[in-house]
Amino acid sequence: MEALLVDRDQWIIVDLGTTPTGMSAGDKVKLDQKVKRKIRLCLSDSILFNVSWEDTVKALWDKLGTMYQFKSLVNKLLLWKNLYNLRMKDGD
């Protein structure tokens, strides 16, 4: 999701949560709503239920980060193990 937003020059609204230089307040609101919709369209219903009340895209992104982005050493090692053991199944 981050790569998609960076590619479309929309990541600044998530990363900073502030008005980019030269953007009016109205344009910021429109961009915020547009990016929120993009993120919500990519979420499953069970995840969307937990973050549906977030007002801004920055708050939405931060909430998703606290829910699913664990930065502990144990989690990083588990992710490396899962990546290392990842194999294609017959027919894929």
pLDDT of residue 10: 83
What pLDDT sits at residue 73?
77
* DSSP 3-state of 52: coil
Domain assignment present for residue 37? The answer is yes
How far apart CA 61 and CA 1 sit, in angstroms, is 10
Give the pLDDT score at 61: 87
Q: Would residue 17 count as lying in a domain?
A: yes
Domain ranges, residue 6: 2-84
* Residue 89 forms part of a structural domain: no
Per-residue confidence in pLDDT tens, the chain, 92 aa: 888 888 888 888 887 656 667 778 888 888 888 989 998 988 888 888 888 888 888 889 888 888 877 777 777 788 788 888 888 888 87
29 part of a folded domain: yes
Task: Report the Cα–Cα distance between both ends of the chain, in Å, rounded.
Answer: 24
- Residue 13 placed within a domain: yes
| Count of structural domains within the chain | 1
* 91: in domain: no
Task: Tell me the C-alpha distance between 57 and 62, whole Å.
Answer: 8
